[in-house]
Amino acid sequence: MTLAKLAALAVAATLGACASKGGAGGAGGQAPPTRTTLRVQNQNFLDMNIYVVRPFRVRLGLAPGVTTTTFVIPSAAIGNGSPMRFLADPVGGRATPVSDEIFVQAGEEVTLIIPPG
């Protein structure tokens, strides 16, 4: 991937924050922890190691080429909601494109689209 393709790396947050409606939840009446996910649509033929960057880099996993994969973003990377970027490191490739910075809150699903090579 070239730097020109970096601009094509798209990230969009979609709704998904779940509110607890009183009643029996988890232990002690608390709601279970909310999962925040990253859905990667890898349209490239190369497999990509996916990282969340805030300000430290945490590997989420491998997104095989020409597939859609979902990862759970660790709650430590989210905190009470924060800006973050996602990095796609191609296996066997040279460029490591980074997404624009977006604000992510707990419970959201974020979609990352990696364009074809």
pLDDT in tens, 15-47: 343 333 344 455 566 766 689 999 999 999 999
Name the average pLDDT for the chain.
Answer: 79
Pairwise CA distance, residues 87 & 85, whole Å: 7
**Mean pLDDT within 93-115:** 90
Asked whether residue 5 carries a pLDDT value surpassing 60, the answer given is no
Position 27 scores a pLDDT of: 56
Pairwise CA distance, residues 89 & 113, whole Å: 14
User: What element of type H or E holds 75?
Assistant: helix 75-78
Position 33 scores a pLDDT of: 67
Q: pLDDT-based confidence at 65, cuts 50/70/90?
A: very high
Q: pLDDT-based confidence at 56, cuts 50/70/90?
A: confident
**Mean pLDDT within 57-66:** 96
List strand residue ranges (DSSP E) for the chain, in order.
Answer: 10-14, 37-42, 48-54, 56-63, 67-72, 82-90, 102-104, 109-114
Which one is predicted more confidently, 56 or 17? 56
Give the chain's domains with CATH numbers.
3-114 (2.60.40)
